[in-house]
């Protein structure tokens, strides 16, 4: 599953174009759209989950930067309210 997850992340990484792809810290969403889509938010949740469970090795740096920009949006903050994707035991 790790191998498949890495392959999927590489495919998503290829969908990031625009300023972020050039190393800038400016938001650039999947498919170079000017706004976030449902797929952007689902990918951000997946990335957050992988980081929450310690699978940092699966997430390329460009996707981490991309997700960090999603996590700064008002919509993300309203839904997550500072919580992690995993319930603490």
Q: What is the pLDDT of residue 7?
A: 93
74 token code pair: 């008002």
pTM: 0.83
The rounded mean pLDDT for the chain is 86
What pLDDT shows up at residue 71? 93
Q: How many CA atoms lie within 13 A of 11 on its CB side?
A: 7
Residue predicted with more confidence, 47 or 25: 47
pLDDT-based confidence at 22, cuts 50/70/90? low
- Say if residue 80's pLDDT is above 60: yes
pLDDT at 44 (0 to 100): 94
Residues near 15 by beta carbon (within 8 Å), at least 6 away in sequence: 30, 31
pLDDT of residue 16: 79
CA angle 34, 36, 39 (to 5 degrees): 130
């Amino acid at each position: 599953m790790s191998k498949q997850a890495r392959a999927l992340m590489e495919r998503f990484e290829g969908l990031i174009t625009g300023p972020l792809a050039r190393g800038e810290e400016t938001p650039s969403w999947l498919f170079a759209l000017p706004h976030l889509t449902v797929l952007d938010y689902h990918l951000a949740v997946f990335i957050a989950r992988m980081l929450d469970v310690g699978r940092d090795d699966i997430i390329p740096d460009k996707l981490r930067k991309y997700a960090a920009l999603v996590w700064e949006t008002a919509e993300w903050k309203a839904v997550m309210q500072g919580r992690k994707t995993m319930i603490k035991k």
